[in-house]
Amino acid sequence: MPSKKILAIGFAAGVAAISTLEQYGNKIYDESGNQFFIKGLAYQLRPDDPLIDTDQCSRDVELMKELGVNTLRVYHVDESADHDGCMKVFEDAGIYLTIDLDDFETYILPYDTYWNQTQFESYTKTMDAFIKYDNVLGFYVGNEIIAKSDQSHAAPYIKAAVRDIKAYRKKKGYRNVLIGYSATDIVELRPMLQDYLTCGGNNDEIVDFFGINAYEWCTPNTYTGSGYDKLQAMAEKFPVPIFFSETGCNVGESREWQDMDAIFTEPMVNDWSGAIAYEWIEEQNNYGIISYGPPTDQAIATGDIYDGFTRKGTPTPVQPDFDNLKSRWATNTPVGTPRSKYDSSSVSTRACPSSTPGGWQVDGNVPLPTLGETYAGSATAASMTSKATMTSRAASGSADSGDTDNGKGASSDSGTSAPSANQKTSTNDAPSPFTDSRVLAVATPLVGLILGMALWL
């Protein structure tokens, strides 16, 4: 596989840039040839952009460093805002960012699926705003778009988005920041989705990384009991970096993070590039590892309080979850495979999966939709109907999106997305997280659309 080098441009004159990272085969390396493993957190304090408050980023980063964080995932940003302060804070701490390109109005729909100019322009504006920061590791073209097997016809549209964003990256002369996708863990679509997004042999069309949101390892459990052995079997010699873009089952009184011991040791460490823990801030779903204060009246939506929780101030660890994760990461420090000893030709793009009855709907390496096409039937060569003048219909189509939750935290009948408030996750029970920060990041436009007013009740 060709390398995807993340070039160091330099954030400010006189300041050493964060270490260059490079994709090489299915691994990520720093400038010294050491393998890079993601130890990340989902970071979305409120519906709007968490990367515009430099003071808050400066407060948060101290506990992040104590925890051992080297990567953050941000679900929603305002591309028109100034991010220099927060990005500098995180760069100085050695922390990289992975950022979702879509928003509520532009995410790819699982039904009535399309990929159009409105979406493309929105995605590229976000890329334009963040490409200058050396510590942007990658962008997601979507999050959990496909949450059920009957939505798998949307996969070619995800791949089309990857193709067009990578072409834009090349046209603009941008560094090869990684372009990928974050998937719901759907048992009946394993491993078809991950294989499809890396199949066909055309590096201009495949994802640069594949993230999976999995909440299967609920304490107490084991490598085989959790099903991680099956995830590993499907990730072995995967052609691009694969990592957990969300993880952290919350069953019982505390989170033990036992899965970190598996992810960062043999055999998983041979194929996986780490994990992003869900999530930073404590909310109704009880998945946070820090808090800015006790819960408040949910009717209050002013100042630093939103949805019953304070979202600014001095962070306080939620115990024992914080220390448990800190301990796991501190004791799991894999060396990995030095680049000088890694043969990237040992991995290659996979064959495109065939359709299956009642399961995967895309039959082989079908032609990808062009910009402006919409889904019109089965995912075959003749299934795409061109609608070049089509405009974004995400808002009007939202009622058809099933459990996808705006592409920001979908759930699946058999998947393992983060649960909603006060609900616990098991391998086969993952209710849609309507109150978690992924949904808050895109909820405001929906309320405005439905109510026709800027009033939060």
162-196 pLDDT, tens digit per residue, is 999 999 999 999 989 999 999 999 999 999 999 99
Structure tokens at 439: 């949904």
Structure tokens at 78: 């305002």
Can you say whether residue 77 is alpha, beta or left, with left for phi > 0 and alpha for psi between -120 and 50 degrees?
beta
The residue from 91, 105, 144, 216 that is catalytic is: 144
Report whether pLDDT(452) > 70: no
CA 399 to chain centre: 23
Write down the pLDDT at residue 298: 67
Higher pLDDT, 402 or 231: 231
Confidence of residue 300 (pLDDT cuts 50, 70, 90): low
Can 253 be counted among the known catalytic residues?
A: no
Confidence of residue 425 (pLDDT cuts 50, 70, 90): very low
Report whether pLDDT(456) > 50: no
| Local structure of residue 225 (DSSP, 8 states) | T
Angle, helix 54-67 to helix 321-331, in steps of 10 degrees = 60
Tell me which of 219-223, 233-237, 430-434 is least confident: 430-434
Domain ranges for the chain: 4-451
pTM of the model as a whole: 0.83
For residue 239, report the phi and psi dihedrals to the nearest 5 degrees: -75, -20
Task: Match domain 4-451 to its CATH number in 3.40.50.620, 3.20.20.80, 3.40.228.10, 3.30.70.240.
Answer: 3.20.20.80
Write down the pLDDT at residue 253: 82
Give 443's contacts (C-beta < 8 A, 6+ positions apart): 47, 104, 406
Output the average pLDDT for the chain: 82
Can 205 be counted among the known catalytic residues?
A: no
Structure tokens at 393: 């219909």
Confidence of residue 441 (pLDDT cuts 50, 70, 90): very low
Strands 21-24 and 27-30: antiparallel
Tally of helices (H runs) and strands (E runs) in the chain? 10, 18
For residues 231 and 236, give the distance between their C-alpha atoms in angstroms, rounded to a whole number.
Answer: 9
pLDDT in tens, 244-278: 999 999 988 899 999 999 999 999 999 999 999 99
The residue from 91, 105, 205, 246 that is catalytic is: 246
| 12 exposure class (CB count in 10 Å sphere: 0-12, 13-18, 19+) | exposed
For residues 257 and 28, give the distance between their C-alpha atoms in angstroms, rounded to a whole number.
Answer: 23
SS3 assignment, position 260: helix
Report whether pLDDT(405) > 80: no
Nearest CA among 211, 7, 16 for reference residue 94? 16
